[in-house]
Amino acid sequence: MNATRLPPLSYSNLTTFAACQKQYELRYLSALGWPLIPAGDAVASEEAEHLGNLFHLAVEQRANDQDVSLLLNESPKLHAWWLAFLRNRFDRPQGHVWHEARLGLPFGDERILVVMDRLQNIDGQWTVWDWKTGRQFQREALGKSWQTRLYRFALAQAGQIFNAGEPIPPAAITMAYWSAEHDRIERFPYDAEAYAADGQAILLAIGKLHVARTAGFPMTGLGTACDAKGRPCSFVPLCLGTTGANDLMAETWEPDGDPVREPDDDPFV
């Protein structure tokens, strides 16, 4: 286990590690994916993820001046999301814009990789946009999330590649989420104090990852991450060595709807 190479730090795997180290090991080191979703809910989950992926594809195609009408015909929900997107004039962004902007950087003994749905610079004010298609959209949770912390930190730490070699000050950075389902924006400005705190938090997470890589990844006790937000972890049967836990999972599992768009290991910008 000592020789196990950790994947680049992403908001998804850091969130998983904080919730349950065993789940992190199974998903990101053993590459088991996300198995054993109850059959009755699998269709709803796959449909929600499919629509989320189609929406992100439509945004990307529109940015490249491609026709998106065929994509929008997939679902009335997708069409409604798109109309809300147009009402906000997101299809006509001002300033300098990068779509699906990848930013990788070394930090501590590991690497960070973020993929931003949209990066926008208007007169030196930088906004990292993220499109959310799931039903969950709480400001407090978003503000504390690893996505908000990691994306803003990465841009302040290594965003000079987007800025003609000049560093981007933390105070010039904002993380903004738009919910397609709720047609609402939540913005989270950055500052030097939060930047320093995030750097320390990331180093602390790296230290915990190194300890777990050597000592083993413990399973979180039942009743906590195994049943977070009423959505039992689909790895429970593997951890317990039984398929009986699927009965519990089938009763309360509910798909969130946001696609998991994990960045791969390469390339690093």
The tens digit of pLDDT for each residue in 87-137 reads 999 999 999 999 999 999 999 999 999 999 999 999 999 999 999 998 889
Give the fold, CATH level 3, of 13-252.
Answer: Lambda Exonuclease; Chain A (3.90.320)
Three-class secondary structure of residue 94 per DSSP: coil
Residue 39 has pLDDT above 50, yes or no: no
Report in angstroms the alpha-carbon separations of 46 from 27, 69, 238, 260.
18, 22, 22, 11
Whether the predicted pLDDT of 30 surpasses 90 = no
The dihedrals phi and psi of 9, each to the nearest 5 degrees, come to -70, 125
How far is 242 from 252, CA to CA, in rounded Å?
18
pLDDT at 36 over 70: no
Confidence of residue 4 (pLDDT cuts 50, 70, 90): low
pLDDT at 176: 98
- Residues counted in the chain: 269
pTM summary value: 0.85
Q: Give residue 49's pLDDT band: very low, low, confident or very high (50, 70, 90).
A: confident
Specify the pLDDT at position 251.
Answer: 37
Contact 158, 207 (CB under 8 A): no
Whether the predicted pLDDT of 233 surpasses 80: no
Beta-carbon-side half-sphere exposure of residue 139 (alpha carbons within 13 Å): 6
* CA gap 121, 144 in Å, rounded: 24
In this prediction, residue 236 carries a pLDDT of: 74
- Answer yes or no: are the C-beta atoms of 244 and 44 closer than 8 Å: no
Average pLDDT, the chain: 84
